[in-house]
Chain A
Amino acid sequence: MAIFNLKKREIECKVVFYGPGRGGKTTNLEYIFKSFKKQVAGEMVSINTEGDRTLFFDFLPMGLGKIRGCDVRVQLYTVPGQVKYSSTRKLVLRGVDGIIFVADSLEVRREKNMLSLKDLQSNLKEYGKSIFKLPLVLQYNKRDLADQGIPIMTTEQMAKDLNRQLKVPAFPASAVKGEGVGVTLKECVKLTLKKLQKEFQWAK
């Protein structure tokens, strides 16, 4: 549901961080807010529960400047990952242009990753979109926990679980340390703009 203003040569698109509860979506956004000062175009808004979990969404507007003569703005959102917030999660997903799926590398969260991906697929389907056609990037988050001896899955295992059919770009990351956050975002924005370019032909 990108908004494209031909006259002003402006494009605004929506990228959503999706994934199981406690996987690190909000942490990703916080890191982006802190570290991409130049591109951040406003305050980060978080609507949380008392326990610091996302209740409705986090929101962060970014401006990427001119790309091929067009002013590109990207709105970043996170969904609430907890299963019980399914209706708000779906609402936040509406009109999405690109998705970053933040998977939790913890072994104990293996199934939650898969269920969340399935939830994403079915929510997209209800909006008439296919998970196979939308710009999508996976992130295997919390890699740093291996250093503390906590059982985490190998990236191969995670690729097998989540990316066997999708075959989309995937990045290991540690959102608390900021590792892998930037590349994940850049890849997703790149894919999203590429797709929009195909649709709107704005870069002619």
Chain B
Amino acid sequence: MHIKGKIKSILQEAEIYRSQGLKAEAIQKYNAALDLISSNQQLKNKNRIQSAIKSKLNSLSGGKKTPEKNGSTPELSENVQDLIQNLFSFSENKGDDKAILEGAISLAKFGQIDRALEELNKLVKKDKVRVIAAKNVINCHLSVNSVDGAIAQYREWQASDFFPAKHLSTVRAYLEQCLKKKGIIAEIDEPADTLEPELFEDYPEDDGEDEYAENANEEVDNADEGYEDNADDGYEDDADDDDQEGEFLEIDSIGITFEEGPQKGTSVEFDVNFQSGNTLSLIIPDKEKALVESLDEGSNLNDIQFFSPIAIFKGTGVVSSRTMIKHGPKRGDICLDIKITNQ
């Protein structure tokens, strides 16, 4: 009786998670229920309950095989596209070219490539924003894996009468650079094969051809860091994809309580200059060197406080390297790498 109640409550929990779309959590609970059932010999209706749970599990994992329209982003209605164009242009003067440019780039980021191209192609006709708009036209083509499209577009501009030679050569250099980055060495005047570039990885920097364009691009770059491969964005995957985030919290600074040396018993706080997984790098200015005199490679730190934006916690670490910076503006400073061993 007791076991029955337990199974029932686990199943109820699983059911709630399922209804909330928390697939991974639901699957885990269903499996927990299955485990409990199979370890219980005397249970009545054992087989029936098991097969009912298994069919739930099947339907949960079956759902993930339906990527939306083979993974591409849905084409939104014109109204919604207008809304995006309007809401995601960040300039104050909504009607000006810079705002239209920003809106067009946002449309591209939201996967509305055709509409983005339509807007950008209008801007290419305008002297002040021509170069930056053209660069983003190229980005759009590359984002849908169309190297051919990008090159064809370039040639069209080349043949047109509105594209000044100066602008054309900037855009050409940009196109070459993009292709090179994707590992394609193509003579732009020759036919090229379509390869698979990384989509919208970033909108590379402007080379400062014209002041206005550069400013506009800076904004784009700011907004764009970390822009991911667009192809993933259309999937409705299983809940597992929620699990991709790194395991280590970002640590801003640490407090070390010294157990030896002149600082014995005192606690000193240091900023973390760089973090890679569980290794923290601190740069100690030359004039504060004395503070870390007692810390050598291999020194154990048994009392560290880690300060992250979310929490403070205690732990231990070991000095994994200690080097003096020999060149550059930080010459003479000490770089300490601390590996977190326990938190």
Contacts and interface: CB of A to CB of B under 8 A. Distances in A.
A3 interface: yes
Nearest to B13: A150
B315 interface: no
B78 interface: no
B291 interface: no
Nearest to A118: B310
B309 A45 contact: no
A84 B233 contact: yes
Contact of B110 (A22, A88, A121): A88
A118 B228 contact: no
B227 interface: yes
A75 to B, nearest CB: 8
Contacts of A149: 9, 12-13
A88 B309 contact: no
Contacts of A52: 21
Nearest to A131: B309
Interface residues of B, number: 52
Given A82-B242, A165-B309, A56 B110 contact: yes
B311 A164 contact: yes
Contacts, number: 121
Contacts of B63: 51
Contacts of B109: 87-88, 91
B198 to A, nearest CB: 13
Contact of B233 (A20, A75, A85, A150): A85
A51 B21 contact: yes
B176 interface: no
Contacts of B22: 22, 106, 108-109
A175 to B, nearest CB: 12
Contacts of A90: 223, 226
B61 to A, nearest CB: 14
Given A83-B245, A119-B245, A164-B311, A91 B88 contact: yes
Nearest to A126: B225
Contacts of B311: 114, 161, 164-165
A25 interface: no
B231 to A, nearest CB: 11
Given A47-B80, A88-B109, A91-B223, A148 B12 contact: yes
B87 A59 contact: yes
B211 interface: no
A20 B9 CA distance: 25
B268 interface: no
Given A126-B225, A164-B311, A53 B87 contact: no
Interface in B185-230: 222-223, 225-228, 230
Contacts of A53: 21, 236
A114 B310 contact: yes
Given A52-B21, A84-B241, A87-B227, 5 more contacts: A22-B22, A45-B83, A82-B241, A84-B237, A114-B249
Interface of A: 1, 3, 20-22, 45, 47, 49-53, 55-56, 59, 75, 82-88, 90-91, 94-95, 106, 108-109, 112, 114-115, 117-119, 121-122, 126-127, 131, 145, 148-151, 161-162, 164-165
8 contacts: A20-B242, A49-B236, A50-B236, A85-B233, A87-B109, A109-B25, A121-B250, A148-B12
